[in-house]
């Protein structure tokens, strides 16, 4: 049976994914810095493990077949944390996943990470860090799917998305709920190895778009 490790399980998207997975019959291990943050959703299939992503968190990978990496700053913390978490913890997660022969590594990345120079501005250092982390995963040999959502909102999820980048900036957002729904779909779907999806609010069902 698949066992899924969620890295960054107390973040907003992390909690949505963890909550949904905890309601299935699949074993789930939620990695957090502070256990109390996940107490409200603790369930019988949910194992909550504390670890510091700035240290050695290899033990979290024992017995895991799937990994979702949704830890990170989203570009709002200092660039030092961007280097330590978004880049270095991601790099170490890939190394641990490789050692564990993980079958599926789903990385939550960001729109624009493919070409940081094209976007520029204050977000560029963050995009650089994510670019290098994504690149490291892509060349690691670990089976991966990259998810690169546009600007995140707290709107209610519609379950409808697009992977075509919209022409106008103000159409590029996506709700965290729809990102979480997409991650859950990718986790269960075969054939999405080596795929890179930008994600935006759209008009198509997740299962028809992520192919």
- The catalytic site residues sit at 126
160-162: strand order across its sheet: 46-50, 28-32, 4-7, 66-69, 104-108, 144-149, 195-201, 160-162, 204-205
| C-alpha to C-alpha distances, 72 to 82, 126, 178, nearest whole angstrom | 7, 10, 18
CB of 61 to a second copy, least distance (A): 16
* Interactions with a second copy, residue window 23-62 (CB under 8 A): 55-56
Candidates 71, 132, 147, 163; binder of a second copy (CB under 8 A) is: 132
Site mask, a second copy, residues 85-104, x = CB under 8 A? Answer: --xx--x-------------
Residue closer to a second copy, measured from CB, 48 or 89: 89
Residue with tokens 């779909």: 185
139 binds a second copy (CB under 8 A): yes
13 binds a second copy (CB under 8 A): no
82 binds a second copy (CB under 8 A): yes
Distance between CA atoms of residues 97 and 66, nearest Å: 9
């Amino acid at each position: 049976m698949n066992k899924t490790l969620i890295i960054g399980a107390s973040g907003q998207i992390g909690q949505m994914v963890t909550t949904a997975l905890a309601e299935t019959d699949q074993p789930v291990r939620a990695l957090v810095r502070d256990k109390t943050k996940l107490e409200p959703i603790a369930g019988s299939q949910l194992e909550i493990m504390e670890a510091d992503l700035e240290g050695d968190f290899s033990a979290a990978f024992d017995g895991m077949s799937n990994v979702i990496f949704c830890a990170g700053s989203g570009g709002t913390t200092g660039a030092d944390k961007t280097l330590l978490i978004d880049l270095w913890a991601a790099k170490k997660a890939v190394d641990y996943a490789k050692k564990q022969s993980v079958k599926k590594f789903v990385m939550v990345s960001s729109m624009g990470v493919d070409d940081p120079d094209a976007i520029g501005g204050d977000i560029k250092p963050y995009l650089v860090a994510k670019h290098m982390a994504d690149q490291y995963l892509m060349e690691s040999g670990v089976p991966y799917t990259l998810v690169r959502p546009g600007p995140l909102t707290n709107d209610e999820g519609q379950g409808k998305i697009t992977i075509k980048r919209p022409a106008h900036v103000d159409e590029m957002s996506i709700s965290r709920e729809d990102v979480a729904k997409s991650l859950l779909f990718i986790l269960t779907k075969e054939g999405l190895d080596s795929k890179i999806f930008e994600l935006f609010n759209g008009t198509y069902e997740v299962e028809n778009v992520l192919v």
